[in-house]
Amino acid sequence: MDHDIVIRGGTIVDGTGADPIAGDVAIDNGLITAIGSVPGTGRQEIDASGHVVTPGFVDIHTHLDAQIGWDPDMTPVSWHGVTTALIGNCGVTFAPCKPEDRELLAGMMETVEDIPKSAILDGLAWDWEQYGEYLDSIERLGTAVNVAGLVGHSAIRYYVMGERAVEEQATDEEKRQMAEIAAKAIDAGAFGFSTNRYEPHKGPDGRSIPGTFADVEELEEIARAVGPRRGLIQAVGADFDVLKRIADTENSRVLFSYGTGDQEGAGRWSAQRLDELCEGRDITAISHVRGSGYMFGLQSGLPVRGQTWRDVSEMDFEGRLAAIKDADIAAKLIEEAKQPKATGIPMTEVFFLGAGDTPNYALPADENLQAMADAAGEHWSETFLRLTRESHGKGLFNFRMFAKNMKEQGDLFRSDHIYPGLGDAGAHVSQIMDAGWSSFVLSHWLRDTGHFTLPEAIEKNDFGTCPGDRS
């Protein structure tokens, strides 16, 4: 029997956590039709000897909602083995949307996810009002990977309540309408519903986005519509009590963002707390795979408030490099950095990534920039400038806002209820956007540390056990 494609002689890891097997994979009409010893030939034969053959990876937390309009290849997640991406996270989506509200939703995505509003408005067709029409528009783009979409609470709430959506509670009738819209979105192809209760996420006018302070009964009403349809409910900023109430409504499938502290034992404690939350419930957490937050350096932002720093930041790269090599300018930069409140970034949580093609994200907590400065008998700004000069301006520094301690993060990953993948691909233009999280799982958590076995790493990367499907 002939096949369209046969992948020969690879080590097959199927993503379920099962042991690898040696064998072939046959593909016909875009579907896998045989695994093991495949007789016959393929019109295309691929020699996988010495290689691992896996399912495509799933990026469960992206904000590619805008980028998809001008980059249907969805880079760089598609460069890291991702074949399915979930968009519409954190309650901010572009549908449903009345024509007169397009600029508002675009502005909300800008202020929450750091994606320029102008690019959003210019880069998308905006030929929809309802969520099903939005999915049709996305499909017409011909994306390189599979796209699953969540319908956002903020968009639904504003669609129903208008300006009242920001600060007022919904009436019973408005709650019913929101639940109906969420249900219709899932019937039209949405993968689920997302909500955001993280107060610092602001709209264009500086107020928290719609839904942030919605009473829990509103979420329960929506869950009664979403849960029976097996739609996923993704939540950001919701405390454990809120997560329990959502999950306990219609046995709803819940996905939320989670992390741990950097103090000794925090990872084990956080994992235990997570396991207790998830016991008997369809709840799954995701977390960062490495220190994430804000990146700075000569090629990016500079970390100090001060006139000289501001002057340098306004130069092009070559001008910046020449400036920090000038002894007089460097002295002024150091003096400004020594002033009170010169920076809001604690240098004990900043790490030098190096200047090579492979940044070092795995430095231990005691090898931070402040510790490097103390060891050299320097002010941290002197160390920053010295390392920047030595790297010819290419050195980068990572302020770890999340996943500050890799050891504790590893202990958190011991829980069966948490997956890596809080990458935020497509967002945070001026911060860290960790679209390469799946490769880091394989390079660091599998190859370098042995924290995961190969079957475990692949299962984690493709959500072989789908969130909530643990019965």
Three-state secondary structure along 200-255? CCECCCCCECCCCCCCHHHHHHHHHHHHHHCCEEEEECCCHHHHHHHHCCCCCEEE
| Residue 29 pLDDT exceeds 60 | yes
pLDDT tens by residue, 267-301:
999 999 999 999 999 999 999 999 988 889 998 88
In the numeric block, the tokens 């049709």 are attached to: 136
3-class DSSP state for residue 6? Answer: strand
Give the span between the Cα atoms of 85 and 427, in whole angstroms.
14
| 8 A C-beta contact, residue 417 and residue 402 | no
Give the span between the Cα atoms of 456 and 196, in whole angstroms.
30
pLDDT tens by residue, 293-335:
888 999 888 999 999 999 999 999 999 999 999 999 999 999 9
Instruction: Determine which helix (DSSP H) or strand (DSSP E) holds 270, and give its type and residue range.
Output: helix 266-278
Count Cβ neighbours within 10 Å for each residue of 434-444 and write b for 16 or more, e otherwise: bbbbbbbbbbb
The architecture (CATH level 2) of 58-290+413-461 comes to: Alpha-Beta Barrel (3.20)
Lowest mean pLDDT among 22-36, 151-165, 456-470: 456-470
| pLDDT, mean over the chain | 95
468 pLDDT band (50/70/90 cuts)? very low
pLDDT at residue 203 in the model: 95
pLDDT tens by residue, 226-279:
999 999 999 999 999 999 999 999 999 999 999 999 999 999 999 999 999 999
Q: Which DSSP letter does residue 114 get?
A: -
The CA-based angle 431-437-441, given to 5 degrees, is 145
Q: Which tokens belong to 55?
A: 């399912």
Give the span between the Cα atoms of 412 and 74, in whole angstroms.
30
pLDDT at residue 126 in the model: 98
Q: What is the pTM of this model?
A: 0.93
Class at the top of the CATH hierarchy for domain 3-53: mainly beta
**Per-state percent for the chain, helix, strand, coil, to nearest 5:** 40, 20, 40
CB atoms within 10 A of CB 138: 23
* Domain map (residue ranges) of the chain: 3-53, 58-290+413-461, 293-402
Phi-psi region of 91 (alpha: psi -120 to 50; beta: other; left: phi over 0): left
| 8 A C-beta contact, residue 154 and residue 93 | yes
pLDDT tens by residue, 181-226:
999 999 999 999 999 999 999 999 999 999 999 999 999 999 999 9
